[in-house]
Amino acid sequence: MILGLMQTSPLLVSGILRYAASAHGGREIVSRLIDEPIWRYNYEGLARRAAQAAHALARLGVKPGDRVTSLAWNTHRHLELFYAAPGLGAVLHTANPRLSDEQIVFTINHAASRVLLFDRNFADLVARLAPRLTSIETFVMLSDAERTHPAGVEAASYEALIAGEAGTFDWPTMDENAGAFLCYTSGTTGDPKGVLYSHRAVVLHAMAGGLASAFGLTAFDVVMPCSSLYHATAWGLPFTAPICGAKLVLPADKMDGASLHRLIQDEGVTFTGGVPTIWTMYLAYLEQTGERPVALKRVVIGGSAVPRAMAETFKTRYGVDVLQIWGMTETCPLGVIATPTPALAALGEDAMNEAIWTRQGRLQFGIELRVEAEDGSEAPRDGETSGALKVRGPWVVRRYYRKDEDAADVDGWFDTGDIATLDQNGFLRITDRQKDVIKSGGEWISSIDLENIAAGCPGVKIAAVVGVPHPKWEERPLLVIETHEGAAVAKADVLAFLEPRIVKWWTPDDVVFAPVPLTATGKIDKKVLREAWRSHLTG
Ligand code: ADP
């Protein structure tokens, strides 16, 4: 081997900020806030206030390697922390407010965070948790001095804290493998697990996200992340947008259809993204009001399977392309993205749309995929043979935070817990999570496929399928449906809708109408559903 003779400048989050401020300094950032007027500044302003925040954190005693926790929505102040904490060498733990009290306390104590910075409307939550937070020394409310009210804990005002600080910071050069963000999985089984993203992983992931074969962002785009900043760094958009020079629009906690539509229209949003539930609400809003998004071109959707009907409605009614992504907290989170290829385009628009609307995405440079059969051999890439999905790459977890053993095997393969197929074009299709698979008479039924089809039935808002114990077949599918407000849908309508679209033995043994519980990350909570309906077929 002979070493290359190029420079080895580390890939650091602060490098993104420095670049955006110098190359796209005037490009706007717009943020809704909890109960303050809309905030406007630009990348230059972000660099200035992130520097002030870094000085303030340092003054509070935060040193490289320390953890600080945010409990916050998608706002410019949260964005500033995304750069301030990792920039100075600390780690930002983005706590997920949708977890249970116990789990939030667990994650903050597990992270051993020294500072907790929280949005105003989490004041009661923080007051409730504070006595159990063993490592927090300073509480900071992300608010101006006038609006910071006593929260049951003594909290400083973020604005007062940063006000007198210098607007430049000598961002240190450090090892690109240093930890930058600590994101916890939602812990559907056991305690949440911490995934510690390195600067290198964050920067490579953000660069890959911007590629034309991925999000394809340019300086003309206006990007509004509706995936939460606290959940796997909002799919890296707070980094990809500045790298591409895109305008950034932050919706705070207002994810209802009317609020999102207002921002989309007023700010000229061209690109947005979030979990399917948000877009179900948004499409219902457009339908009810007859409004149409003007500039919107692409919506990236992931976190759980995108119903085909959702992608089709966006495209055929509003001319908006849906890019489905698959990923997880352990993959930073981007794994695959469903974008077209010449081979698909050659098949014609309908066939291409069909392929894209029914698959999670395509192999991206940086993430290797392997579908493994039960005997450990690699399953053929035929789009039919399913198996355990494993991944590896520079933004895939190696070991969970404070665990003694690696989460990936010796060759780097991390078992995602998903069941999938891969086809000859490199398209991935998730058929289930290992723990959600329905085993009926020894055969597998894909709950995701059934949900996807049932979601297309008129009047259905959310369709959830779980396997419930059955005396003869071991398990059979039960379909739980939450309808749109005011929609009258009967069991017979749903079964008639499914009949021509599925093989007979997949037909759910029953269809029930009930609210569908969601997890902290917006996915159907199958554990709760299975528990609630477990004796439905056995009596
Ligand atoms: P959690 O903390 O709930 O595990 P993650 O966001 O890490 O939150 O969840 C990752 C899981 O979400 C994946 O393993 C997969 O099961 C599911 N998932 C993500 N995107 C998709 C998608 N497009 N289609 C189907 N399932 C998806």
> pLDDT by residue for the chain (539 residues), tens digit each?
999 999 999 999 999 999 999 999 999 999 999 989 999 999 999 999 999 999 999 999 999 999 999 999 999 999 999 999 999 999 999 999 999 999 999 999 999 999 999 999 999 999 999 999 999 999 999 998 888 776 678 899 999 999 999 999 999 999 999 999 999 998 666 789 999 999 999 999 999 999 999 999 999 999 999 999 999 999 999 999 999 999 999 999 999 999 999 999 999 999 999 999 999 999 999 999 999 999 999 999 999 999 999 999 999 999 999 999 999 999 999 999 999 999 999 999 999 999 999 999 999 999 999 999 989 999 999 999 999 999 999 999 999 999 999 999 999 999 999 999 999 999 999 999 988 989 888 888 999 999 999 999 999 999 999 999 998 889 999 999 999 989 999 999 999 999 999 999 999 999 999 999 998 888 999 999 999 999 998 87
Q: Answer yes or no: is the C-beta of 521 below 6 A from any ligand 1 atom.
A: yes
Atom of ligand 1 nearest to the CA of 186: 2
| CATH class entry, domain 13-254 | alpha beta
Residue 421 in tokens: 């197929």
Where does 366-433 sit in CATH, by number? 2.30.38.10
Domains 13-254 and 438-533 share a fold: no
In whole angstroms, what is the distance from residue 536 CA to residue 538 CA?
A: 6
CA of 45 to the centre of ligand 1 (A): 34
> What fold does the segment set 438-533 form as a domain?
GMP Synthetase; Chain A, domain 3 (3.30.300)
Instruction: Give the whole-angstrom CA distance, residue 476 versus residue 536.
Output: 11
Where are any strands of DSSP class E within 215-340? 222-225, 247-250, 271-274, 298-302, 321-327, 334-337
Is 423 within 8 Å of 336 (Cβ atoms)?
A: no
Residue 206 has which token pair? 């953000």
Domain segments of the chain as ranges: 13-254, 366-433, 438-533
Nearest atom in ligand 1 to 185's CA? 2
* Adjacent-strand bridge partners of 460: 483
Q: Which of 126, 117, 128, 134 is nearest to 60 (CA)?
A: 117
* Ligand 1, pocket-test mutation among 229, 277, 299, 328, most atoms within 8 A of CB: 328
Query: Does the Cβ of 494 fall within 6 Å of ligand 1?
Result: no
- Please tell me what DSSP assigns to residue 307: P
Helix 237-244 to helix 199-210 angle, to the nearest 10 degrees?
60
Which residues on neighbouring strands pair with residue 370, listed in sequence order?
Answer: 390
How many Cβ atoms from other residues are within 10 Å of residue 372's Cβ?
A: 16
Phi, psi of 141 (to 5 degrees): -95, 130
Neighbours of 198 (CB within 10 A): 24
Sheet holding 179-184, edge to edge: 155-157, 138-141, 115-118, 67-71, 91-94, 179-184, 194-198
Q: 322 has which bridge partners?
A: 299
439 carries an active-site annotation: yes
Cα dihedral 311, 312, 315, 318 in deg (nearest 10): -100
Distance CA 514, CA 531 (A): 14
Question: Ligand 1, closest atom to CA 433?
Answer: 16
- Round to whole Å and give the CA distance between 298 and 286: 16
